[in-house]
Amino acid sequence: MHILVVEDEDAIADPLVAGLRREGYDVSRTATGEGALGASPADLVLLDLRLPDIDGLDVCRQLRERSRVPIIVLTARGEEADRVVGLELGADDYVVKPYGLRELIARIRAVTRRAGSFDGTVGPLRAGELEVDERARRATLAGRELELTPKEFELLAALARDPGAAISRQRLLAEVWQTSWYGSSKTIDVHVAALRRKLGDPGWIETVRGVGFRLRIP
């Protein structure tokens, strides 16, 4: 998944870009509105409103006129009027600075899921003979439906959204368990073990030492 960060302050942009890359995202960054409007297409845009050349609200409006790319506004403008204007111009979410990376990642996933729910071109997630239908909350392997608990399904879906990519434990905790807990994450191991049994081959979910897990076709 490619994220475009539009932020002119290096002190904010640099750690944000580094944090998103640690979570497995492909990230590019621009410091201007012109750069945002001229950038290659992205899967999601994180947009600051206070840019040196073009007001961020104008950038939001122009991006929305040309595409349906999900846009999350990141700004110090916390007044209700600013939030309303931003959302009416086409932003999908509005996050007021300062914010935590865990919260932001959870919002990225939520916005991405909502975008997929109304885009008729988006269907079930597929990896080989595995199919995960998030709208119907069904997972099948070679046509056989898997009997999964809610958390097992959400964990499998989180991995299946980007097969082959290493997904960190922290990201899985944020997306599946909606927590930023940095202590023991053994609950993930328990659910991964259960998924491996139900998939019938442990090779479907590979452990990435020091990072987390990746979904692969065995």
Q: Which CATH class is domain 2-118?
A: alpha beta
User: According to the CATH classification, is domain 125-215 in 1.20.1290.10?
Assistant: no
CB 195 within 8 A of CB 155: yes
At 119 the pLDDT is 45
Tell if the pTM clears 0.85, that is, is over it.
no
pLDDT, one tens digit per residue, over 53-112 is 998 889 998 998 888 888 998 877 656 666 677 677 778 888 888 888 888 888 888 787
Length of the chain counted residue by residue = 218
Domain map of the chain by residue range?
2-118, 125-215
User: What is the greatest pairwise CA distance in the chain?
Assistant: 56
Q: What angle do CA 188, 152, 202 make, to 5 degrees?
A: 70
